[in-house]
Structure 1
Amino acid sequence: MLVKEIMKRQVFTLRKNNSIADAIKLFKEHHIRHIPVVNKSQHVIGIISDRDVRDASPSVLDKEVDQSLFNQSIDNIMTSPVITTHPSEYFEDVAAIFYEKEIACLPVTNKKLVGIITEKDMLYTFIQLTGTHSPSTQIEIKVPDRVGVLSDVSNLFSRRRIKIVSVYTYPSPNQSEYKIVSISNSNNESTYYNERHRKDRV
């Protein structure tokens, strides 16, 4: 799955000379948490989060609030340079960026800003890929980590007429020579098989 299939194409942006008050208004109006900062050519030059705004704003406990603080330009608090991704990047590669860089948002650029992808978008996509968004039963099978094993698993399910909704694998804990194949199948099929053959071996 590619970034262009899951990114949001409507992106709310600001210029670096916009004020903190402008950012607060945009956050509240559109219920968003991140705003890319662009120049006149729509090139991303920074990004601002709702947390950046909270940190820069006066405390609600202050008896006298200096309103001039809200008139500061956002280039004083924006993050720059910005990590970005491309519309043709793979979901798996972007997931690694989110994890390694510990970020919550990625602007999507193709020379200029064309979209945005958030950690919520990533989680929703993962749910779709694993099939947990639809009624299904999960089956986990321990298999040797060798070439052709997925074909063997697929043939096993085909012989039993079990419809596969999604498949993913992960390393078997403490057994590097094995993997766990996690399979979602239609909830109304092969209940007996699902209950009796969990963590089976192929």
Structure 2
Amino acid sequence: MLVEEVMKKEVITLPSHARIETALNLLNKYHIRHIPIVNDEKEILGIVSDRDVRDASPSIFDQNHSKQLKNEIQTIMSKPVITVHPLDFVEEVAGIFYENEIACVPVTKNNKLIGIVTEKDVLYTLIQLTGIHEQSSQLEIRVEDKIGTLPKITNLIGEYKINISSVLIYPDKREPNKKIIVFRIQTMNPIPVIESLKNDDYEVLWPNISGVKQ
């Protein structure tokens, strides 16, 4: 899935000379956590988070409370800013969040801001990609890491006229020469599929249903 399919196009922004109190009011009013800072050409200059604003906001008992909130936003904004392109993959954005320990990236095209993607957007997208929001059953199968295994299993599932919502594959930590394939299939009764898999000597890790041939 591409970034342009999940990004928010309506983005609250501020110029670098805006006051911190303005950012604070916008964060509270729109219940958002990040505000990109842009120039008149919509080019990214920086970004501020609710934490940046909170850290810059003095205690109400501080005599300089009002004065500090009138400082320009550019004094606390983070820069340079990591951005992504609308044609990047959402999975790549998840990697950016993890590696850089951030929770939001502006989306730019021709160096101009056109959208924003947050950690919540990515998490929701991954939920959709895994298919767990649909009525379905999950199968986990340990297989040899060799060519042709995946189509054989999908063909076997297809014999039962069952749609596959999603497929995930990851390395088996216990056995490096094997993979774990996770299927989400659109049935609430996976037992016939499990029996067929086991009859073909596939190792079904989940569900481990009693009474089904091991």
TM range (shorter): over 0.9
TM-score in terms of structure 1 length: 0.92
User: For the Cα contact (< 8 Å) 2:37–2:45, is it kept in 1?
Assistant: yes
- Answer yes or no: is 1:158 the counterpart of 2:158: yes
Which consecutive segments of 4 or more residues in structure 1 shift more than 6 A?
none
Identity of aligned residues (%): 46
Alignment length, in residue pairs? Answer: 199
Q: 1:192 to 1:157 in 2, by over 3 A?
A: closer
Aligned to 1:17: 17
| CA distance in 1: counterparts of 2:124 and 2:137, whole angstroms | 19
What letter is aligned with 1:74? I
> Aligned with 2:168: secondary structure?
strand
User: For the Cα contact (< 8 Å) 2:57–2:65, is it kept in 1?
Assistant: no
> Aligned with 1:199: secondary structure?
strand
Give CA deviations for 1:56-108 in whole Å, capped at 9, x if unaligned.
01124x36452111100010000011000000001222221111111100000
Aligned to 1:79: 78
User: For the Cα contact (< 8 Å) 2:47–2:78, is it kept in 1?
Assistant: yes
Give CA deviations for 1:116-156 in whole Å, capped at 9, x if unaligned.
00000010001000001112111001111122221111111
Q: 1:3 to 1:45 in 2, by over 3 A?
A: same
> Aligned with 2:138: secondary structure?
strand
- Answer yes or no: is 1:170 the counterpart of 2:176: no
Gaps of 5+ in 2: 199-203, 207-214
Aligned to 2:205: 199
Gaps of 5+ in 1: none
Aligned to 1:95: 94
> Aligned with 2:23: secondary structure?
helix
Aligned to 2:212: none
C-alpha root-mean-square deviation of aligned residues, in Å? 1.8
Q: 1:193 to 1:148 in 2, by over 3 A?
A: closer
Q: 1:85 to 1:63 in 2, by over 3 A?
A: closer
Q: CA deviation at 1:26?
A: 0.7
| CA distance in 2: counterparts of 1:135 and 1:159, whole angstroms | 20
Show the 5 A alignment for 1:1-202. 1-60=1-60, 62=61, 64=63, 66-111=65-110, 112-194=112-194, 198-199=204-205
User: For the Cα contact (< 8 Å) 1:139–1:182, is it kept in 2?
Assistant: yes
What letter is aligned with 2:107? V
User: For the Cα contact (< 8 Å) 2:103–2:119, is it kept in 1?
Assistant: yes
| CA distance in 1: counterparts of 2:64 and 2:133, whole angstroms | 47
